[in-house]
Structure formats: structure tokens, C-alpha cells
């Protein structure tokens, strides 16, 4: 039995024992505690020895993983949600509003997925339409007007690719967000908390500091999509994931992100409070660092940050003339 299978078996045993304990009103806390200690050790071994990009992708897609509203509930005080793009409708795949974090006033925006079929249909599985990106831009302009820093939480498989979204200008809406976010005269911090899928992520992802939770992913294409194109076989997604270098460790080494936020062993869903605490500490640290820059320095550094991504040098000796 693989270590991954052992972990799954232990998780199932713990869950069954908890349910049985509740149904029969019998105290099994000591036995559950022992099993959970064993599970922690298994997770530690797995993280240190076996976890790769594909495993982290599975964790980022875990249905129990915390979403934007989960973090807002724990991180912020006095959250007031704002709705609509003032042009068409309110897109429930993106949420946003005014809040404070330990007295630090911000505007927060993020993708929101659902927990079951009904809520996922309501949230469109976290895939925003043009109305969602236009709502986000409206809120960001509001933040600039009132000199509020912006925090964005990214968690989407991608922008909604439906016919209606294309008819309403999906590409234009995302492109406009990219262009305007480079010029917003307030600090911006973005955190990939789950999936960071292509333009759907970038539509709220132009920031002075880009962070990733340890088991989140960020890529121009899904491993399944990449495998279908490269190998004509979507079952080779694990192989494609390695080539995409879409995990936090690889992306930090490439300079795409600025820092990695540590998650509890096994993923953020195993301890939301601890994950939220780590996220808050890192975000506030980044805002404090960015606040030192003048507006001119802020905008120049933001532009250069993204302009330098993908930069490479050629050795003239290696260039063969025709």
C-alpha cells in the first residue's frame, strides 16, 4: 500500500469513528487523538518525500479547501459586501467589499466557489463572467478613490468560457482589468489560495506583491488541457504538471511570485484558523512593506515586476547565423 493510500485509509477511519461516536454518544476522543497523531506523521512523510506538483494540484482542488468567504469571515472585521457591475448584473463567482483587518482598512475581492451542486451552480464553479471582472474593476476604482489598499484572493479554474461570456466581451473585460490595475494608485496584494487558472486569475491578479498558499497552483493552462495538446492524452496530466512548474516552489524560484504562505500538514482545509492566521500575517507584512513607496515608485515597481517575468538571455556564441 502506498503512503497516499495509507493516508486515505486513516482519514476514513477517523471520520467513521467521529460519526459513530456522535451517533452512539460514546467518547472515542482518545482513540481519535491517537489516529490523528498517526495521520500527522503520515502527512509529514508524504510532504517531505513524495509530494509533487500533481499532488499539490489535487489538494488545491479539494472540495473542503477554504474559499474566499471563509477567509473573509475569519480575517476581516466589519465586512460589507458590494454587488454588481452597474452595467448588467451581479456575478456571484466574484465577491468583494469593504473590510478591515486588525484596524487596517482595505477593499477585498476574490473568486468564490460553491460546496455542493446548487451552490456551485449559483457561483458558476468560481468561473467569472465579464460582469464579474467589471464588478471587480468598479470596486478597485472605488478603492483608489478612497485611498484603500486592495487585497485579492484568487481561486478559479479560469474565466467562464461560455458563448454568452464571449458575446459580452470576456477578453475585453479581463484585458481592461490588466491595463487599469497597472495604473491604480493604491497598494495591491494578491494571494492565490487554490487554483490560479490563466486569464481568469490574472483578471484580479496584477499586484505589487503576489503570494501563494503552499498547496495552491498558478498556470496558463490546466495539466489536463496541456496533456491533451502535447500528448493527445488527458490522462498524462501528472506528467504535464511537472513540465508546467505550476506549484508555489517552482514559481517562486522563477520570480513569478514573491512569497509562499505555509499551510498545515495535509492542506489548508485541515486547519482553517491556522492557515488564515499565516495568511493574515504575511499579507499585513507585505502591505507594510509596500506602504513605504511613493505612488510613482509603486507604479514603476509594479510595471517592472511583471515586465521582467519570462525574461531570458541568449549567448551570442550559441546563435547560428543562416
Q: What is the DSSP string of 143-173?
A: HHHTT--EEEEEEES-S---HHHHHTTHHHH
Closest CA to 149 of 213, 98, 192: 98
Instruction: Compute the distance between CA of residue 39 and CA of residue 271 in angstroms, rounded to an integer.
Output: 14
Long-range contacts of range 27-36, CB-CB < 8 Å, 24 or more positions apart? 35/10
Supply the pLDDT for residue 322: 47
pLDDT at 250 over 90: no
The residue with greater pLDDT, 81 or 10, is: 81
Whether the CB-CB separation of 275 and 213 falls below 8 Å is answered with yes
Instruction: Compute the distance between CA of residue 238 and CA of residue 246 in angstroms, rounded to an integer.
Output: 12
Whether the CB-CB separation of 93 and 204 falls below 8 Å is answered with no
Q: Where are the domains of the chain?
A: 3-50, 60-307
Supply the pLDDT for residue 51: 61
> What are the φ/ψ torsions at residue 79 (nearest 5 degrees)?
-70, 130
Instruction: Compute the distance between CA of residue 274 and CA of residue 214 in angstroms, rounded to an integer.
Output: 13
> What are the φ/ψ torsions at residue 161 (nearest 5 degrees)?
-95, 15
Supply the pLDDT for residue 63: 84
Can you tell me whether residue 103 is helix, strand or coil? coil
Instruction: Compute the distance between CA of residue 14 and CA of residue 31 in angstroms, rounded to an integer.
Output: 9
- For the domain covering 60-307, report its CATH number: 3.90.226.10
Supply the pLDDT for residue 4: 61
Mean pLDDT to the nearest integer, 189-196: 94
Supply the pLDDT for residue 120: 92
Question: What pLDDT, in 10s, does the model give residues 206-239?
Answer: 999 999 999 999 998 888 888 888 888 888 888 8
Mean pLDDT to the nearest integer, 113-127: 93
Percentage, residues of the chain above pLDDT 90: 55
pLDDT at 92 over 90: yes
Supply the pLDDT for residue 318: 54
Lowest-confidence pick of 88-92, 133-137, 231-235: 231-235
Question: What pLDDT, in 10s, does the model give residues 31-67?
Answer: 888 877 777 776 666 554 446 677 788 888 888 899 9
pLDDT at 320 over 60: no
User: Confidence band (pLDDT; 50, 70, 90) for 25?
Assistant: confident
Whether the CB-CB separation of 107 and 95 falls below 8 Å is answered with no
- Other C-beta atoms closer than 10 Å to the C-beta of 213 total 28
Supply the pLDDT for residue 235: 85
Question: What pLDDT, in 10s, does the model give residues 287-318?
Answer: 999 999 999 999 999 999 998 887 665 555 55
Whether the CB-CB separation of 242 and 54 falls below 8 Å is answered with yes
Amino acid at each position: 500500500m502506498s503512503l497516499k493510500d495509507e493516508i486515505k485509509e486513516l482519514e476514513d477511519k477517523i471520520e467513521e469513528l467521529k460519526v459513530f461516536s456522535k451517533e452512539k454518544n460514546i467518547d472515542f476522543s482518545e482513540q481519535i487523538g491517537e489516529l490523528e497523531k498517526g495521520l500527522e506523521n503520515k502527512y509529514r512523510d508524504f510532504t517531505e518525500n513524495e509530494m509533487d506538483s500533481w499532488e499539490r494540484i489535487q489538494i488545491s482542488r479539494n472540495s473542503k479547501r477554504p474559499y474566499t468567504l471563509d477567509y473573509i469571515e475569519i480575517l476581516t472585521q466589519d465586512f460589507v459586501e458590494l454587488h454588481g457591475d452597474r452595467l448588467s448584473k451581479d456575478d456571484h463567482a466574484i465577491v468583494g467589499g469593504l473590510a478591515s483587518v486588525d484596524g487596517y482598512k482595505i477593499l477585498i475581492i476574490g473568486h468564490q466557489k460553491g460546496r455542493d451542486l446548487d451552490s456551485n451552480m449559483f457561483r458558476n464553479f468560481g468561473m467569472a463572467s465579464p460582469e464579474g471582472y467589471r464588478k471587480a474593476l468598479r470596486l478597485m476604482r472605488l478603492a483608489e478613490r478612497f485611498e484603500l489598499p486592495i487585497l485579492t484572493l484568487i481561486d478559479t479554474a479560469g474565466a467562464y468560457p461560455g458563448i454568452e461570456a464571449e458575446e459580452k466581451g470576456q477578453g475585453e473585460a479581463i484585458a481592461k482589468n490588466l491595463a487599469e490595475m497597472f495604473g491604480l494608485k493604491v497598494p495591491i496584494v494578491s494571494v492565490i489560495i487554490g487554483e490560479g487558472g490563466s486569464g481568469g486569475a490574472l483578471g484580479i491578479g496584477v499586484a505589487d506583491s503576489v503570494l501563494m498558499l503552499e498547496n495552491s497552483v498558478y498556470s496558463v493552462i490546466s495539466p489536463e488541457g496541456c496533456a491533451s495538446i502535447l500528448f493527445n492524452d488527458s490522462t498524462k496530466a501528472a506528467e504535464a504538471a511537472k513540465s508546467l512548474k505550476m506549484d508555489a516552489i517552482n514559481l517562486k524560484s522563477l520570480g513569478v511570485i514573491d512569497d509562499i504562505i505555509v499551510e498545515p500538514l495535509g492542506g489548508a482545509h485541515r486547519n482553517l484558523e491556522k492557515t488564515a492566521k499565516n495568511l493574515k500575517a504575511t499579507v499585513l507584512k507585505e502591505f507594510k512593506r509596500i506602504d513605504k513607496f511613493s505612488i510613482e515608485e509603486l507604479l514603476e515597481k509594479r510595471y517592472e515586476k511583471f515586465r521582467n517575468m519570462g525574461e531570458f538571455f541568449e549567448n551570442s556564441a550559441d546563435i547560428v547565423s543562416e
